[in-house]
């Protein structure tokens, strides 16, 4: 019956194309199969792997994921072979597209059946949501394959040659994109999108070593997987027997036309496009060609943006200045930014961890913040709130690295009229993301990065620079010059060793902290090295008798995640493991014993804190921070943004934290007082109106901060 209906269909549609020279050649089938076959395999495998990681309780070894997620592609392949052989023997006139449709339908049924029989660890993720994770990629590749089939069969000469060039030029990026986004997801737990793609392309020379450091074990195969899969099929046409077969006249049973293929593919296209959408798990970041390229409306992975009502700007510091008073203190100010140090991994907040014993010792004569948070967990974003007291531009672009890109002065510029000389020391390169321009915009007189130091005796422990202790002697020599000149100084440090991949010098003896995650163990050792650096640095100031006359501010630039919420590293992590950092003000005269300051604090609070300690007034504008010497008023709201604010935003009002994640804005709410590890999502128990109000509030904050920066840049451009 099926064969008879198909023959009637073929007879009725034969006139759509002239019979002579219009059949789909074997060479075209071979070319398209050699390109799109591997593409389908890589895309489906990468997406299902990502989905498998997401729905599991944690991230299992990659070998286990490969074993479990490869079950469906393997079943699809074996079933396809069996059904194809069976169809060829009985229905020789059935077109390849109909083969594919029949195989897909049968395989779907067998896969669901297998999921009921095979143990759950390998099939727990085999659901309709898994289909939702791959459907738009499959549809896009199918439409591309059909388009190239028509182009290759309906064009001749140079036009056909151009089509072939486009086909083979398009294949590598289509192959590398899912592999690259999957690799980024495995390393960070965050999604990739078009802005991230642009960022990597622009900064690839600087990021090459970062990427290489993540390629270990089976991950080494990821960059080569597309080539390994794609190259062998492409070489098929170079084999003489294959070429003879490919360019031979097709048999009558093979002589389908492009129009037949198109009509045969219509049901499958409609099936992919029109099936009702299935909700994806909240934690699953949308990943497909269209979502990576920013076309989220097509996949439905992004809710419509709510209308944001403009309000008063959240800050205006472009005219800010420090004014001396009768009680102004003439003190040096030293700010030490500890790279990637999260509060929960320090001895200060977890006495059972022997990672930062010296920091804990300093805290005996310091004002210590119980709850200090980053604004954006990213170093070159954190410099603006740490030093200028305002939020950074909430977008991946480092606008602060543009000339005049910060809409307000930094502490070095504010203190300069009062005779302060300023300098910034880091063992890292200043060229990455133009950190040197950021520091210039903040008002530093002098800046020293890795190229300014004599490397003999010091190890290059990181792709960005050297071990931290390389900056101790040069910075203390700079201090000696200031003391000799009788100048007060503002000095900033930024460490590096605790940055990923957490490599300490070979001479530094490592410990086993008893954690299963080897990367976390390396991180804890890196924190211990940072603490040792801090000990050596403070000893230098003590030898110069500068402890009593200097305000030391020691704070983390951001924290770090190690899979506590299925995310790693920090850029788009707004859980407390990436936001909550240690912070203390050290001076044995001002703080003869440990004092804790409660309430929710943020890096924007350092600017008014320095003014408060020095007994100076901030005039000529309004700022969002609050001095750490003052109590936190009830109901204070803190705002947070990921490296890319279109991926994740959050706000905190007292202990209640609202988080809007992964573009789909699946709101999550946590009571951080009762649930400090953020495990119990309260969003389902709250009225939708309250969730919508919180979403509007954080989007309004993002809009208003962006607007301040845009207006400032527009004014600066007009002046130039």
- Determine the average pLDDT of the residues in 226-239: 64
Q: What's the rounded mean pLDDT across residues 476-482?
A: 95
Query: Quick one: pLDDT at residue 344?
Result: 93
* Antiparallel, parallel or unpaired: β 550-556 and 332-338: parallel
Contacts of 515 (CB under 8 A, 6+ apart): 521, 524
Quote the CA–CA distance of 652 and 678 in Å, as a whole number: 13
Three-class secondary structure of residue 343 per DSSP:
helix
Residue 366 CA: distances (Å) to CA of 47, 613, 686: 50, 13, 40
Instruction: State how far the Cα of 372 lies from the Cα of 459, in Å rounded to an integer.
Output: 32
Residue 290 corresponds to which tokens in the numbers above?
A: 């269209």
* Phi, psi torsion values for 249, nearest 5 degrees: -65, 130
In this predicted structure, the answer to whether residue 336 has a pLDDT above a threshold of 70 is: yes
The whole-number pLDDT of residue 526 equals: 94
From 60-64, 87-91, 134-138, 692-696, the region with the lowest mean pLDDT: 60-64
Per-residue confidence band for 301, with pLDDT thresholds at 50, 70 and 90: very low
Query: CA nearest 577: which of 684, 679, 468?
Result: 679
Burial class (CB in 10 A: 0-12, 13-18, 19+), 593: exposed
E-assigned strands of 196-347? Answer: 321-324, 332-338
pLDDT of residue 122 exceeding 60, the answer is no
- Chain Cα centroid distance, residue 51: 17
pLDDT at 309 over 80: no
As a whole-number percent, the residues of the chain with pLDDT over 70 amount to: 66
CA proximity to 163, closest of 139, 140, 145, 137 = 145
Q: How confident is the model at residue 14 (pLDDT cuts 50, 70, 90)?
A: very low
Q: In the chain, which segments carry CATH 3.40.720.10?
A: 328-632
Higher pLDDT, 3 or 387: 387
pLDDT-derived band at 581, boundaries 50, 70, 90: very high
- The more confidently predicted of residues 267 and 252 is 267
Predicted confidence (pLDDT) at residue 224 exceeds the cutoff of 60? yes
Residue whose C-alpha is closest to residue 420's, from 538, 537, 331, 484: 331
Q: State in words which class domain 328-632 has.
A: alpha beta
pLDDT tier at 714, thresholds 50, 70, 90: confident
Query: CA end-to-end span of the chain, whole Å?
Result: 78
Rg for the chain, CA atoms, rounded:
30
Instruction: Judge contact between 575 and 355, C-beta under 8 A.
Output: no
The yes-or-no verdict on residue 470 having pLDDT over 90 is: yes
Instruction: Taking each helix axis as running N to C, give the angle between helix 435-442 and helix 379-388, from 0 to 180 degrees, rounded to the nearest 10.
Output: 10
Kindly tell me the sign of the dihedral angle through the C-alpha atoms of 368, 374, 380, 381. negative
Three-state SS sequence of 159-196: HHHHHHHHHHHHHHHHHHHHHHHHHHHHHHCCCCCHHH
pLDDT(577) > 80: yes
pLDDT, mean over the chain: 78
What pLDDT sits at residue 83?
54
Taking 3-state DSSP, the helix, strand and coil percentages for the chain, each rounded to the nearest 5, stand at 50, 10, 35
Nearest Cα to 301, choosing from 152, 62, 129?
Answer: 129
State CA 283 to chain mean position distance.
14
Q: Are strands 595-602 and 366-373 parallel, antiparallel or unpaired?
A: parallel
Q: Average of pLDDT values for 689-709?
A: 90
Of these ranges, 132-136, 210-214, 310-314, 323-327, the one predicted with the greatest mean pLDDT is 323-327
């Amino acid at each position: 019956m099926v064969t008879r209906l198909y023959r009637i269909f073929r007879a009725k549609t034969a006139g759509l194309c002239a019979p002579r020279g219009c059949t789909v050649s074997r060479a075209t089938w071979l070319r398209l199969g050699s390109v799109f076959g591997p593409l389908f395999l890589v895309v489906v495998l990468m997406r299902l792997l990502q989905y498998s990681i997401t729905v599991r309780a944690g991230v299992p070894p990659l070998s286990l994921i490969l074993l479990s997620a490869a079950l469906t592609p393997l079943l699809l392949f074996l079933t396809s072979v069996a059904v194809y052989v069976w169809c060829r023997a009985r229905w020789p006139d059935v077109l390849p597209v109909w083969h594919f449709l029949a195989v897909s339908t049968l395989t779907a049924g067998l896969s669901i059946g297998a999921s009921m029989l095979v143990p759950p660890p390998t099939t727990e993720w085999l659901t309709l949501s898994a289909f939702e994770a791959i459907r738009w990629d499959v549809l896009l590749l199918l439409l591309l394959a059909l388009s190239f089939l028509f182009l290759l069969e309906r064009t001749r000469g140079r036009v056909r040659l151009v089509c072939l060039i486009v086909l083979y030029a398009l294949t590598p990026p289509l192959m590398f994109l899912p592999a690259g986004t999957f690799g980024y997801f495995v390393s960070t737990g965050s999604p990739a999108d078009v802005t991230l793609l642009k960022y990597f392309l622009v900064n690839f020379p600087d990021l090459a070593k970062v990427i290489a450091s993540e390629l270990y074990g089976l991950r080494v195969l990821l960059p080569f997987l597309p080539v390994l899969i794609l190259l062998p099929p492409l070489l098929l046409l170079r084999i003489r027997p294959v070429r003879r077969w490919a360019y031979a006249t097709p048999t009558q049973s093979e002589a389908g036309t492009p129009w037949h293929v198109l009509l045969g593919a219509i049901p499958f296209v409609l099936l992919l496009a029109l099936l009702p959408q299935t909700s994806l798990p909240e934690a699953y970041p949308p990943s497909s060609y269209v979502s990576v390229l920013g076309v989220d409306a097509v996949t439905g992975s992004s809710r419509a943006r709510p209308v944001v009502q403009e309000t008063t700007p959240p800050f205006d510091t472009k005219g800010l200045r420090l004014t001396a008073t009768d009680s102004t203190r003439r003190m040096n100010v030293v700010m030490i930014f500890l790279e990637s140090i999260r509060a929960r991994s320090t001895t200060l907040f977890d006495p059972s961890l022997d990672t930062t014993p010296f920091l804990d010792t300093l805290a005996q004569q310091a004002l210590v913040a119980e709850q200090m948070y980053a604004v954006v967990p990213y170093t070159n974003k954190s410099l603006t709130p740490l030093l200028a007291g305002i939020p950074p531009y909430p977008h991946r672009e480092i606008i602060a690295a543009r000339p005049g890109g910060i809409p307000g002065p930094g502490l070095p510029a504010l203190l300069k009229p009062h005779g302060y000389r300023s300098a910034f020391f880091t063992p890292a390169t200043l060229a990455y993301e133009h950190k040197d321009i950021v520091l210039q915009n903040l008002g530093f007189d002098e800046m020293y990065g890795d190229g300014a130091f004599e490397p003999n005796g010091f190890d290059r422990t990181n792709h960005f620079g050297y071990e931290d202790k390389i900056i101790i002697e040069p910075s203390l020599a700079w201090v000696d010059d200031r003391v000799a000149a009788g100048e007060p100084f503002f000095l900033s440090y930024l460490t590096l060793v605790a940055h990923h991949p957490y490599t300490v010098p070979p001479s530094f003896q490592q410990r086993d902290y008893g954690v299963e995650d080897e990367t976390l163990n390396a991180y804890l050792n890196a924190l211990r090295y940072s603490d040792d650096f801090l000990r050596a640095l403070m000893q230098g100031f003590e030898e110069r008798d500068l402890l009593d006359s200097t305000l030391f501010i020691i704070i983390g630039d951001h924290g770090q995640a190690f899979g506590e919420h299925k995310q790693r590293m920090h850029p788009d992590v707004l859980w407390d493991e990436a936001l909550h950092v240690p912070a203390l003000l050290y001076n044995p005269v001002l703080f003869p014993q440990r004092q804790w300051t409660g309430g929710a604090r943020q890096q924007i609070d350092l600017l008014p804190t320095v003014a408060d300690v020095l007994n100076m007034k901030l005039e000529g504008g309004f700022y969002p921070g609050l001095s750490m010497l003052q109590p936190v008023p009830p109901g204070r709201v803190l705002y947070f943004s990921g490296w890319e604010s279109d991926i994740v935003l959050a706000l905190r009002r007292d202990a209640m934290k609202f988080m809007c994640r992964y573009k789909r804005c699946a709101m999550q709410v946590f009571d951080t007082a009762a649930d400090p590890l953020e495990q119990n999502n309260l969003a389902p128990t709250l009225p939708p109106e309250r969730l919508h109000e919180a979403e509007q509030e954080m989007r309004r904050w993002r809009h208003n901060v962006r607007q301040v920066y845009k207006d400032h840049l527009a004014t600066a451009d007009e002046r130039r």
